[in-house]
Amino acid sequence: MKKRLVLFIPLVLFLVMGVFLYKGLFLNPQNLDSALEGKPIPAFQLERLEDRGDVITNESLKGKVSLLNVWATWCPSCKYEHPYLMRLARQNILPIYGINYRDERAMAIRELNRQGDPYTVNIFDHDGRLGLDLGVYGAPESYLVDHNGIIRYRYAGPIDQRIWNETLLPMVEELQAAAKLDGAS
Amino acid sequence: MSKMIFKFFSMILLSMTLISSAFATPVDTYEFKSVDNQKRALELAHSLRCPQCQNQNLIDSNSPVAQDLRLEVYEMVDAGKADNEIIEFMTSRYGEFVLYKPRMEAKTYALWLGPIALLLFGLLIGFFFIRKQRITEVDEQEISAEEQKELDKLLNRKDQ
> Rounded distance, CA B160 to CA B157, Å?
5
Q: How far is A183 from chain B (nearest CA, A)?
A: 31
Residue pair A78/A108 in contact by the 8 Å Cβ criterion: no
Domain identity same for B89 and B149: no
CATH class assigned to A34-178: alpha beta
Range of the domain at B148: 108-159
ipTM of the complex: 0.73
Domain identity same for B129 and B57: no
DSSP A168: I
pLDDT for the residue numbered A151:
93
Q: How far is A113 from chain B (nearest CA, A)?
A: 27
Domain identity same for B98 and B113: no
Residues of A with a Cβ under 8 Å from any B Cβ are 29-30, 32-36, 102, 128, 132-138
Domain identity same for B97 and B120: no
A38 pLDDT higher than 80: yes
DSSP B128: H
Task: Give the model's confidence band at B7: pLDDT under 50 very low, under 70 low, under 90 confident, else very high.
Answer: confident
Domain identity same for B123 and B98: no
> Measured between CB atoms, does B52 come within 8 Å of chain A?
yes
Q: How far is A4 from chain B (nearest CA, A)?
A: 14
Number of domains in chain B: 2
Task: Give the model's confidence band at B21: pLDDT under 50 very low, under 70 low, under 90 confident, else very high.
Answer: very low
pLDDT for the residue numbered A37:
86
> Measured between CB atoms, does B80 come within 8 Å of chain A?
no
Tell me which residue of A95, A100, A86 sits closest to A141, measured CA to CA: A100
User: Which DSSP string corresponds to A124-167?
Assistant: EETTSHHHHHHT--SS-EEEEE-TTSBEEEEEES---HHHIIII
CA distances from residue B49 to A40, A50, B53, B90 in whole angstroms, order as listed: 25, 35, 8, 10
- B48-63 residue pLDDT tens: 988 888 788 888 888 8
Domain identity same for B136 and B62: no
> Measured between CB atoms, does B53 come within 8 Å of chain A?
no
Higher-scoring residue by pLDDT: B9, A17: A17
- A89-118 residue pLDDT tens: 999 999 999 999 999 999 999 999 999 999
B6 pLDDT higher than 80: no
Domain harbouring B33, CATH code: 1.10.8.640
Residue in A closest to B55 by C-alpha: A29
Lowest mean pLDDT across A171-180, B95-104, B108-117: B95-104
